Amino acid sequence: MGRRIYVAPFDTVAVGTAVQDIFSLLASATKGIQLHHIHLEAAGISTAQQIRMRLKRGTATVTQGSGGTNVTPVAVDAGDTLAATTVSHTNDTTQATTTGAFTSLAFFQWDMLLPFDYMPGPEDEDREVALISQVLILDLPAVITAVTLSGFIKWREVP
């Protein structure tokens, strides 16, 4: 029970009509976050179609984007009743802003015929971290032909 792993799922969401944040996780003013897993699947894709995605971290004063959904995180452990302090958004068609800087942590070319899974190594030093009040974002930096996606992002809150 003490692991405090949370998930923000979304199901059959139209993505790609704008440059957008697919997922964003804003750490609270009291806890940071550590990324564990990102999973995406595209519906109705019958030919190879690659899209570019970026994983980035925002620092200083961060304002999450808008136009998407504020998802209430769910604890992975059914016995964990402590609510997440992280603010999670999906599918924001207006991207997040910061008074600091965005740092790109990873770049992906995803062939949507296959599922996309990003699972950093099991050691803490292999997992991306956002400190207190920072944000982790998986974004779509270019407009694509709209596609329907389902997926989730998992993270752990850290002191």
Q: Any idea what the Cα angle at residue 54 is, between residues 51 and 58, rounded to 5°?
A: 155
92 vs 16, residue with greater confidence: 92
Distance CA 55, CA 57 (A): 7
Confidence of residue 1 (pLDDT cuts 50, 70, 90): very low
Rounded-to-integer distance, Cα 22 and Cα 95, Å = 9
User: Rounded to two decimals, what is the model's pTM?
Assistant: 0.93
The pLDDT confidence band at residue 3, using thresholds 50, 70 and 90, is: low
The reported pLDDT for the residue numbered 60 is 87
Residue 99 near residue 130 (C-beta atoms within 8 A): no
Residue 3 CA to its chain's centroid (Å): 19
Give pLDDT tens digits for 112-148: 999 999 999 988 889 999 999 999 999 999 999 999 9
Three-state DSSP class for residue 73: coil
Residue ranges of domains in the chain: 5-158
- Quote the tokens at residue 36: 């564990």
- Tens digit of pLDDT for each residue in 8-52? 999 999 998 899 999 999 999 999 999 999 999 999 999 999 999
